[in-house]
């Protein structure tokens, strides 16, 4: 039996198991049959085993170079390093759909295996909902995007991987992105299960929050990794251009972020239930919209899209099926979405959470409208109009500034109602520090209103967040006499969920400062060098030492040897180049970056003379871009800290006084 046949049989088994899990799970719920439920549980684990077998078979074919398989032929060749051959699994439609289905099968297996013991009632119905999604993925893999499709003839080599994708970040970015996007289906299924069964809110909100936070963490990291790849690989000096595919990942992130905030009000006060329901459903549905954008070619103005691929319409159908099904459940169980009490005072913790969710929802509408405007304009005006970066910046910057301001205010707010004078007192120092940050940014070059407010509000919100850590540590230190550092660690450990969220907030604000800083005092210039010539680029002195050609197996690079002095550097060498791949008429830019906390010197070889005596090099001086990448690591740290929070630990006897002081100091916080 050939491996290709093994892979196809594994996919067929996965489809049949998914269909049985879905049908059997719903029937077991209707009949309350415990034996059938256990059978369904075993079938859910079987889906994961079958999908894992299919993935392992395809990875083996990719690694060994079986070019008779279309997925191998189209995305690898013999000269490709092993890491990129394995990463070609998600390089095309068939492999991507298989990979997405495999991830979802692992999520489903976890719910059926681990989650079944502790959350049996909600999981017993959530598993067949997830299995319905697996019927879709396994069905598409069996019918429309067969990863084991054979091609005619006996090719001895493949077409290779797109040169732009031969970057280490692209080995990490797609799996992180898919883990986050596919992960949005789990909290959606859990929520639908809880809503249909009329389970009390307190029985399901912690579980849904943990699952969504897990997916949100991966999606957050993936979005920044995508910007990092664009920064390193595309040679344009930027990292975000509101490309449709970039927006496709941002849309579910915005909805999920809003849901994480409204869920706090639902857990604490039984409020904003309709908003929570709408946002968790939107986060799931927008992943299908994003996949449709990426895989359908419907928006050809994207530099990332897989134009002309065939699975986009299937995801469009999945979106409509999910929308109609969700709408029916929400309508039938609308009585479960009634708040225990109305929002009486917007100047309160729940009021701030509502406003943050509202701004996130408006951002979703604005970004989606701008992304799909080429289609809208074609239908209404008869001509395709693409909205550029100016539209998105003009429309979204005020909304993001509002979110940042609310992030700074939230820690000082109380539940139910807050007093203006008390909030002003608590935020006195953060506002002063924020004002100082705004003035510093203005002196540094942030002269536009948006950049000035971005600096001011981000520094204010960051100071307000840090103040919560210092305040908790100070209270504990006064109560126990512990050293300040020990008091801080123990205070954070005492409520990991709360302070993990603050770390994630701080990470977002670090990213905001990086974005604002990267647009403050940045500039670009093209210099023409002769061998041995030195030119000034801002604070740097750059000397061109000549060109050299370096072979890399299947391709070669022509690079310019530059020596850089100044700008905080004693002496450093940079080698921007152009990579020439066989079969490609256009070279790929090999960017060279001298990174730093304050600014990056970003260099691109634009061209050179035939004899190599002169070279044209474009320089970008980009302040604070590294803060964006740092923010990614801090987001992951904060998310993990929150996920590890769980319940509040019982205080030890020696810390009882400190715990009591901390409890009184929480100002009604969850």
pLDDT at 305: 52
Q: Which residues of 571-598 are buried (b: 16+ CB within 10 A; e: fewer)?
A: eeebbbbbbbbeeeeebbbbbbbbeeee
Nearest-angstrom CA–CA distance, 576 and 592? 5
pLDDT at 661: 41
Average pLDDT over every residue of 575-601: 87
pLDDT at 156: 87
Other residues' Cβ atoms within 10 Å of the Cβ of residue 120: 11
The string of DSSP codes covering 573-599 is EE--EEEE-TT-SS-EEE-EEE--SSE
**Backbone φ/ψ region at 551: left (φ over 0), alpha (ψ -120 to 50), beta:** beta
Above pLDDT 90, what percent of the chain? Answer: 65
Nearest-angstrom CA–CA distance, 549 and 526? 22
Average pLDDT over every residue of 102-111: 95
The string of DSSP codes covering 626-664 is HHHHHHHHHHHHHHHHHHTT-SPPPPPGGGHHHHHHHHH
pLDDT at 219: 97
Question: What's the pLDDT band for 309 if we cut at 50, 70, 90?
Answer: low
Question: Given a cut of 80, is residue 522 above it in pLDDT?
Answer: yes
pLDDT at 358: 96
- How confident is the model over 193-212, as pLDDT tens digits? 999 999 998 889 999 999 99
pLDDT at 23: 96
Average pLDDT over every residue of 356-368: 96
Question: What's the pLDDT band for 268 if we cut at 50, 70, 90?
Answer: confident
Question: What's the pLDDT band for 140 if we cut at 50, 70, 90?
Answer: very high
- How confident is the model over 170-182, as pLDDT tens digits? 889 999 999 999 9
In terms of Cα–Cα distance, which of 185, 177, 265, 186 is closest to 221?
Answer: 177
pLDDT at 655: 43
Nearest-angstrom CA–CA distance, 476 and 420? 27
Half-sphere exposure (CA, 13 Å, Cβ side) for 73? 13
Question: Given a cut of 70, is residue 149 above it in pLDDT?
Answer: yes
- How confident is the model over 10-27, as pLDDT tens digits? 999 999 999 999 999 999
Q: Are strands 534-537 and 555-566 parallel, antiparallel or unpaired?
A: unpaired
Q: Are 366 and 402 in contact (CB under 8 A)?
A: no
In terms of Cα–Cα distance, which of 281, 231, 236, 288 is closest to 259?
Answer: 281
Question: What's the pLDDT band for 574 if we cut at 50, 70, 90?
Answer: very high
pLDDT at 395: 96
Question: Given a cut of 50, is residue 362 above it in pLDDT?
Answer: yes
Helix, strand, or coil (residue 615): strand
Question: Given a cut of 50, is residue 162 above it in pLDDT?
Answer: yes
Position with higher pLDDT, 553 vs 165 = 165
Average pLDDT, the chain: 89
Question: Given a cut of 50, is residue 653 above it in pLDDT?
Answer: no
pLDDT at 646: 57
Other residues' Cβ atoms within 10 Å of the Cβ of residue 34: 10
Position with higher pLDDT, 670 vs 183 = 183
pLDDT at 459: 97
Average pLDDT over every residue of 259-278: 92
Question: What's the pLDDT band for 418 if we cut at 50, 70, 90?
Answer: confident
Q: Are 86 and 62 in contact (CB under 8 A)?
A: yes
- How confident is the model over 447-506, as pLDDT tens digits? 899 999 999 999 999 999 999 999 999 998 988 888 888 999 999 988 898 999 999 999
Nearest-angstrom CA–CA distance, 656 and 659? 5
Helix, strand, or coil (residue 164): helix
């Amino acid at each position: 039996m050939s491996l290709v046949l093994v892979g196809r049989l594994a996919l067929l088994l996965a489809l049949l198991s998914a269909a049985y899990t879905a049908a059997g799970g719903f029937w077991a719920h209707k009949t309350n049959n415990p034996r059938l439920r256990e059978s369904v549980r075993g079938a859910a684990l079987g889906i994961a085993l079958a999908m894992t077998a299919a993935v392992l078979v395809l990875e083996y074919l990719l690694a060994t170079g079986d070019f008779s398989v279309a997925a191998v032929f189209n995305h690898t060749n013999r000269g490709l390093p092993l890491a990129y051959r394995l990463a070609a699994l998600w390089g095309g439609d068939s492999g991507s759909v298989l990979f997405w289905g495999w991830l979802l099968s692992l999520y489903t297996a976890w719910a059926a295996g681990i989650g079944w013991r502790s959350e049996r009632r909600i999981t017993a119905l959530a598993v067949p909902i997830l299995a319905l999604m697996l019927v879709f993925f396994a069905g598409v893999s069996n019918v429309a995007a067969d990863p084991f499709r054979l091609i005619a003839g006996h090719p001895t080599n493949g077409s290779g991987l797109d040169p732009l994708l031969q970057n280490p970040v692209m080995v990490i970015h797609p799996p992180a992105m898919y883990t986050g996007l596919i992960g949005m289906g789990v909290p959606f299924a859990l929520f639908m299960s809880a809503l249909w069964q009329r389970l009390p809110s307190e029985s399901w909100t912690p579980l849904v929050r943990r699952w969504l936070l897990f997916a949100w963490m991966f999606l957050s990291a993936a979005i920044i990794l995508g910007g990092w790849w664009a920064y390193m690989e595309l040679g344009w000096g930027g990292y975000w251009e509101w490309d449709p595919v970039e927006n496709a990942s941002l849309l579910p992130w915005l909805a999920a972020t809003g849901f994480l905030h409204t869920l706090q009000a639902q857990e604490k006060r039984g409020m904003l239930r309709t908003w929570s329901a709408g946002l968790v459903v939107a986060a799931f549905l927008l992943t299908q919209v994003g996949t449709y954008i990426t895989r359908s070619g419907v928006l050809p103005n994207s530099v990332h899209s897989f134009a002309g691929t065939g699975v986009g319409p299937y995801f469009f159908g999945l979106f409509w099926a999910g929308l109609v099904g969700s709408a029916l459940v929400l309508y039938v169980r609308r009585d479960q979405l009634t708040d225990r009490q109305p929002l009486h005072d917007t100047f309160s913790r729940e009021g701030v959470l509502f406003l943050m969710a509202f701004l996130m929802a408006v951002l979703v509408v604005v970004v989606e409208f701008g992304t799909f405007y080429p289609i809208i304009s074609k239908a209404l005006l008869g001509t395709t109009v693409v909205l550029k970066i100016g539209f998105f910046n003009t429309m979204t910057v005020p909304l993001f500034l509002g979110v940042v301001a609310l992030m700074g205010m939230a820690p000082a707010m109380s539940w139910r109602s807050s007093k203006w004078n008390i909030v002003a007192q608590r935020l006195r120092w953060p506002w002063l520090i924020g004002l100082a940050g705004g003035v510093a940014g203005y002196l540094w070059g942030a002269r536009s209103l948006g950049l000035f407010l971005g600096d001011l509000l981000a520094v204010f919100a960051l100071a307000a967040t840090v103040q919560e850590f210092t305040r908790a540590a100070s209270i504990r230190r006064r109560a126990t006499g512990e050293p300040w550092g020990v008091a801080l660690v123990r205070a954070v450990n005492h409520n990991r969920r709360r302070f993990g969220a603050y770390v994630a907030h701080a990470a977002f604000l670090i990213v905001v400062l990086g974005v604002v800083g990267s647009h403050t005092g940045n500039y670009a210039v093209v210099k023409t060098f002769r061998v041995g010539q030195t030119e000034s680029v801002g604070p740097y002195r750059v000397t061109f030492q000549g060109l050299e050609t370096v072979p890399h197996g299947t391709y070669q690079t022509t690079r310019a040897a530059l020596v850089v002095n100044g700008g905080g550097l004693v002496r450093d060498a940079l080698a921007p180049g152009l990579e020439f791949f066989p079969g490609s008429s256009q070279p790929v830019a090999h960017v060279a970056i001298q990174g730093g906390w304050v600014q990056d010197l970003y260099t691109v070889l634009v061209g050179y003379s035939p004899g190599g005596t002169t070279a044209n090099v474009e320089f970008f001086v980009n302040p604070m871009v590294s803060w964006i990448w740092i923010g990614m690591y801090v987001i992951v740290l904060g998310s993990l800290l929150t996920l590890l929070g769980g319940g509040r630990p019982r205080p030890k006897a020696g810390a009882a006084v400190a715990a009591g002081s901390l409890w009184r100091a929480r100002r009604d916080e969850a």
